């Protein structure tokens, strides 16, 4: 085993040992925020994500949402993040939505002007989908 492999394994072990709450404390976004849904609450839908969706949400936070928040310099609100099948159906989501995998978020800054600025920032970050929804009411981004 070479020096780089040992360092990589040490970093991976430290990452695995770090509690999720501590990881999220360093970010402006949380898994709880990306899974919260008033529709799920109202309809009694359990929107608890599986481990792979949690991994995807962490990747979305680390590679897209947090860098966008830092560049934007003001709060960004998550309208919708992870959706289980039942919730996705209840909100009229498409059958193959990236929300089902925890790879998408619908975002809002509180104004169309702010959303336009955020959209331009998101264009520079990794994404598979970037959609200006309903005249800029929100932005859909998927990784």
pLDDT digits (tens, 9 = 90+) for 44-70: 999 999 999 999 999 999 999 999 999
Domains annotated on the chain, with CATH: 20-142 (3.30.1380.10)
Question: How distant, in Å, are the alpha carbons of 39, 64, 105, 122, 126 from that of 76?
Answer: 20, 12, 11, 12, 17
d(CA 67, CA 63): 7
pTM score > 0.85 for this model?
no
**DSSP per-residue codes, 65-92:** IHHHHHHH-S--EEEE----HHHHHHTT
pLDDT in tens, 81-103: 999 999 999 999 999 999 999 99
pLDDT of res. 5? 44
């Amino acid at each position: 085993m070479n020096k780089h492999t040992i360092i990589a394994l040490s970093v991976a072990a430290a990452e695995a040992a770090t509690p999720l709450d501590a990881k999220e404390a360093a970010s402006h976004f949380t898994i709880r925020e990306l899974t919260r849904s008033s529709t799920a609450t109202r309809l009694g839908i359990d929107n608890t994500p599986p481990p792979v969706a949690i991994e995807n949400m962490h990747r979305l936070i680390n590679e897209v949402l947090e860098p966008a928040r830092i560049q934007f310099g003001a709060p960004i609100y998550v309208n919708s993040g992870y959706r289980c099948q039942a919730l996705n159906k209840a909100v009229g989501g498409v059958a193959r939505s990236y929300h089902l995998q925890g790879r998408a978020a619908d975002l809002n800054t509180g104004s169309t002007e702010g959303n336009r600025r955020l959209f331009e920032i998101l264009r520079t970050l990794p994404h598979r989908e970037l959609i200006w929804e309903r005249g800029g009411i929100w932005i859909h981004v998927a990784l």
